[in-house]
Amino acid sequence: QSALTQPPSASGSPGQSITISCTGTSSDVGGYNSVSWYQQHPGKAPKLMIYEVTQRPSGVPDRFSGSKSGDTASLTVSGLQAEDEADYYCSSYTDSNNFYVFGTGTQVTVL
Amino acid sequence: EVQLVESGGGSVRPGGSLRLSCAASGFTFSNYEMNWVRQAPGKGLEWVSYIGRSDKDIHYADSVKGRFIISRDNAKNSLYLQMNSLRVEDTALYYCARERLPCSGDCLDYWGQGTLVTVSS
């Protein structure tokens, strides 16, 4: 089972919006509404930002939103802020040999 | 306050063994599914293993299957990872993480700070 595919980097100016893609297959992203997104600042543990494709845990700003189309899930960050600069990872349940699979990760830079 | 505290990491030779522990507090541990996730230095996240609320439902990544064993002791509010036949490529920071309830998928809502495992000759 290969990792889900994410772009290595994304960037935007404060106030702008960015969208990060996460591409899998029908065995994972495309087959189940079980996509999560995590934010990780340097030296810190990951933080859950989105689960079940579109759901936000309490405390996560509504600037963060998730969606899915076919085998590709997306995380959109609207009104980009300096504190959004971090690494972002998607994940999904998979019915292949593994159980869960993470994405390759995207480094977000706020210009 | 939910807390997950990992311990047991360290340096070991290839072929050696380590047992990681994760002490949980601030929630009813027996009600939650748990996972181990690792991150090699400078690399991305890799899911390692999952255990259901009892030890009846267990899953492993292909990369550790047959070498690692996940377990839990609900009476001690603790999660474990027995790591055998360690390889250089197992070098990573190992996180224990709780699955949110209810959840479809991983939904890892609380993470520990990790324990570092270094495998080197």
Give residue for tokens 């390692």. Answer: B48
- SS3 call for B29: helix
Q: How would you list the strands of the sheet with B78-83, edge to edge?
A: B3-7, B18-25, B78-83, B68-73
**pLDDT over 90 (residue A13):** yes
**pLDDT over 80 (residue B6):** yes
Task: Judge: B106–A93 Cβ closer than 8 Å, yes or no.
Answer: yes
Of B44, B105, B112, the CB nearest to A45: B112
Task: Give contacts of A101 with chain B, Cβ < 8 Å.
Answer: 47
The pLDDT tens digits of the residues spanning B10-29 come to 999 999 999 999 999 999 99
Q: Does A99 touch chain B (CB under 8 A)?
A: yes
* Mean pLDDT, chain A, integer: 96
Amino acid present at A48: L
Residue in chain B nearest A98 by alpha carbon: B61
Q: Does A38 touch chain B (CB under 8 A)?
A: yes
Structure tokens at B77: 């509010």
The pLDDT tens digits of the residues spanning B63-73 come to 999 999 999 99
Give residue for tokens 């309830």. Answer: B101
- SS3 call for B106: coil
- Give the dihedral of Cα atoms A73, A62, A59, A94; nearest 10 deg: -10
Residue in chain B nearest A92 by alpha carbon: B105
Counting Cβ atoms within 10 Å, is residue B106 exposed (0-12), middle (13-18) or buried (19+)?
buried
**Reported confidence tier of residue A68, pLDDT bands at 50, 70, 90:** very high
Q: What is the predicted pLDDT for the residue at A1?
A: 60
Residue in chain B nearest A35 by alpha carbon: B105
The pLDDT tens digits of the residues spanning B77-86 come to 999 999 999 9
